[in-house]
Structure 1
């Protein structure tokens, strides 16, 4: 069960719009093919109600309404009325799974809590709602008050609930505890479906999911990119990869090839950046940096593992920098279709090492320019030159750009408006290329780096990621003006295509 849209949205500073929630819900159920999604908490806001209505309306049309779940509360009929208004059919009732929470937060005795829970479950069933039950703080309950947990489960086993969810609410369990606690409960209550819900406070979320499944848990709760409160939840991509590779007897319907694209979409919608070293979906995780690794890959795939990038719709890259070595550079040149003699390759390698020593980032797209600079060669020439441009920005008026560009010595001039100066520049450029009957690459990411403590005239580096055909590449520009640095990066792109 994916809970990105409920527990994941509790990530500090993250709030999805109703249309974003609907888009993510569709992708999760139809492309990633998770079994269930938890999309909201009842009673939160009008915006949340609108989002749930949109998702349940779509899910009902697709015959998927039984896969859509909402967190509800022990509040008489309040959550149930909200559920009915939202069109949802499956409620996940939040109850107390530790004596500590029950005693100090609710200030109630077990019998009173159980009676209130039973009343809500009965009311839910009367209103045609399916009910699952969360045991909040279950992990601490097992550590410090297991007799209460068993007392509660003895009560719940006779209730009309479909699933009982066991959350490590504070992410405090270690894998051996997860195995011990889950296996004890599964063996004691063999007829009940138990879900395990891991948090990642000690960076043990994925390991705990693995142990929970080994111990007999029937379901797991995950989020895209490991989003969630504090350190987040167990991440969907990592958990699925681990289960597929280390528990082959456990089958999931999740489509691995869709995990990266949905991860990037959620990153965009949430503004929650994926760390570059995040397993499976991070920018760098299929990038070899050390030259010895690239050399081993060339000779006999010595540094390959079962975690192959192609499984996730990605490809292996070879970084360029001071540790990359000749093999990395050869791999990048091969992808560009460039061949160099051994002496020239040594010169290019030396220049890249020098740039790495200066902490400069070198990308594959920079290679033709480095080669041209070192070899003073006319074979890699600038066939496209941005000769001149005028950028305007005025209050209460749309920014505009007039562009003069030379393509293989033929001059073109166009004017366009846009949402910003660079957008206006790109719109003018698109007009030029439309006349050439050529489509420009899609801009998929735009990053700006300014040195910390930099003054108003500090150099600004703009790194743009482009998608062209089935390839993705980066170009960068450097200037004290951010828009100009973006234009320089764009000219590199034009020459590369």
Structure 2
């Protein structure tokens, strides 16, 4: 088995994501997690000379890394600048530079306006200065992929030169994310066969959504290391994402060994999401919110029958659990899975009622959560305790700034239609006043409302199901009714509709 180095560049290349800037304390926290928990081999944490804040962040990380034995795993991007970057790196306490050089003749000619020999001499001088200061050197060949496409002779001339230098690693970046998987394989293989004793890292970008595929093909071709970022952060479309790449290596490359602890991928991904403000898409492989959620009822049923819908990509590998969504596409199997997790059981008749209610709610609300389930069960079972003689057919609720709320309601009472309009101190108060008008015509007195409680499932969001529990007093008797809806006023109306049927049964 071949041991592959994984270098994380979230704190350098990943921070080049538009609008992202990590604080010094955030960088230190992420660096610790990457090395101590996720166990990547190396981390690239900054670019030299960027700012005083960047300097302080690097200094904090290197101080911790020195005490913890990780200093040689901490790297900083540097430039061919007569030693200015090296001085910055030494003062910041780092001991490894990733020297940015030109990997294509096009970049060299039009950006630096220098010949290959001039560039190589300056690089040689930089490496010598670094050695004098005790700084190890890795070399980036910027725009290497275009170099291989358009100026291959220059690339090999450059590599011949680097073979004479005390360089630890040569890093091959697809800077603009232009390579295809077949090119990634061919280019890396050609280089590795010509320089079998040199260590080559492959650095892929994701502009065509080929970052993971290219990284894997690079490994197949003989690359000795990969550069990845948490959540695929990076310039433009980002870099090859850590989670997906690690999962593919572990599952499909039996001759490759890596040290990354995949159980911490989700934890680190969520922390970086929080610090960066870049939200992880719900369908992002391995770390997305929905990727281990079965929605279709047939899938949940299959999971109950010899795990028919399981693959090697098990959520437990990444510190996650499989979930079964509740909505209009879910069947009894999904609901039973969620009931099992809650420790609840229903008979077949009640299960059918709950399933139907979830389907109805799913038409209005995309996903019903497991936490909603006890409220739905309570609502459904409560609904079967009376005969429905009164129905709230429709209503219009208005609430405008500076005007009293008003409600128009249409009812059916034992087959007869009624309509009324009223104002109130709130929408529900206006609704109750309209109801009182209808029942006053029938010489019927409504019970007093003595308590009104609203609950939503713990940890829910603004679109959560809302349960309203109203306590009524009719002469000497108190009773409660419940209503369930994603709208608070509507849930109260449903609870009131139940009350009307109870007192008229």
TM-score range, shorter chain: 0.7 to 0.9
User: Is 1:348 the equivalent of 2:354?
Assistant: yes
Give the counterpart of 1:256 among 255, 259, 262. 262
Greater RCO (CA < 8 Å, at least 6 residues apart):
2
Give the counterpart of 2:56 among 35, 47, 50. 50
CA deviations on 1:225-244 (whole Å, 9 max, x unpaired) are 11111111111111111001
Is this contact kept in 1: 2:325–2:367, CA < 8 A? no
Give the counterpart of 2:110 among 96, 104, 116. 104
Is this contact kept in 2: 1:447–1:462, CA < 8 A? no
Q: Aligned partners of 1:358, 1:377: CA distance in 2, in Å?
A: 20
Q: Aligned partners of 1:301, 1:170: CA distance in 2, in Å?
A: 42
Q: 3-state SS of the aligned residue for 1:13?
A: coil
Give the counterpart of 2:46 among 40, 53, 56. 40
What residue is the counterpart of 2:31 in the other structure? 25
Q: 3-state SS of the aligned residue for 1:323?
A: coil
Structure 2 CA distance for partners of 1:371 and 1:479, relative to 1, 3 Å: closer
CA deviations on 1:69-90 (whole Å, 9 max, x unpaired) are 0000011111011011100000
Q: Aligned partners of 2:79, 2:330: CA distance in 1, in Å?
A: 55
CA deviations on 1:147-183 (whole Å, 9 max, x unpaired) are 1101111111101110000001011111110000000
Q: Aligned partners of 1:35, 1:51: CA distance in 2, in Å?
A: 20
Give the counterpart of 1:308 among 300, 308, 314. 314
In the alignment of these two chains, the number of paired residues is: 394
Q: What does 1:56-135 align with in structure 2 at a 5 Å threshold?
A: 56-135=62-141
Q: Which has the larger radius of gyration?
A: 2
Give the counterpart of 2:178 among 148, 172, 182. 172
Give the counterpart of 2:15 among 9, 22, 34. 9
Is this contact kept in 1: 2:372–2:465, CA < 8 A? no
Q: Aligned partners of 1:45, 1:477: CA distance in 2, in Å?
A: 49
Q: Aligned partners of 1:143, 1:137: CA distance in 2, in Å?
A: 10
Give the counterpart of 1:159 among 139, 142, 165. 165
Is this contact kept in 1: 2:136–2:168, CA < 8 A? yes
Q: Aligned partners of 1:360, 1:22: CA distance in 2, in Å?
A: 39
Q: What does 1:192-341 align with in structure 2 at a 5 Å threshold?
A: 192-341=198-347
Is this contact kept in 1: 2:335–2:355, CA < 8 A? yes
Q: 3-state SS of the aligned residue for 1:300?
A: coil
Structure 2 CA distance for partners of 1:478 and 1:83, relative to 1, 3 Å: farther
What residue is the counterpart of 1:142 in the other structure? 148
Is this contact kept in 2: 1:77–1:120, CA < 8 A? yes
User: Is 1:365 the equivalent of 2:371?
Assistant: yes
CA deviations on 1:365-393 (whole Å, 9 max, x unpaired) are 111111111110799xxxxxxxxxxxxxx
Structure 2 CA distance for partners of 1:55 and 1:446, relative to 1, 3 Å: farther
Runs (5+) with no aligned partner, structure 1: 380-442, 450-460, 464-475, 481-497
Q: Aligned partners of 1:249, 1:368: CA distance in 2, in Å?
A: 49
Is this contact kept in 2: 1:372–1:378, CA < 8 A? no
Is this contact kept in 2: 1:226–1:235, CA < 8 A? yes
Is this contact kept in 1: 2:98–2:139, CA < 8 A? yes
Q: 3-state SS of the aligned residue for 1:177?
A: helix
Structure 2 CA distance for partners of 1:232 and 1:373, relative to 1, 3 Å: same
Structure 2 CA distance for partners of 1:213 and 1:44, relative to 1, 3 Å: same
What residue is the counterpart of 1:468 in the other structure? none
Q: 3-state SS of the aligned residue for 2:99?
A: strand
Deviation at 1:348, TM superposition (A): 1.0
Q: Aligned partners of 1:360, 1:289: CA distance in 2, in Å?
A: 11
Q: Aligned partners of 2:223, 2:257: CA distance in 1, in Å?
A: 13
Deviation at 1:355, TM superposition (A): 1.4
Deviation at 1:462, TM superposition (A): 9.7
Structure 1 length as normaliser, TM-score?
A: 0.77
Structure 2 CA distance for partners of 1:69 and 1:477, relative to 1, 3 Å: farther
Q: What does 1:453-468 align with in structure 2 at a 5 Å threshold?
A: none
Q: Aligned partners of 1:309, 1:192: CA distance in 2, in Å?
A: 37
Deviation at 1:199, TM superposition (A): 0.6
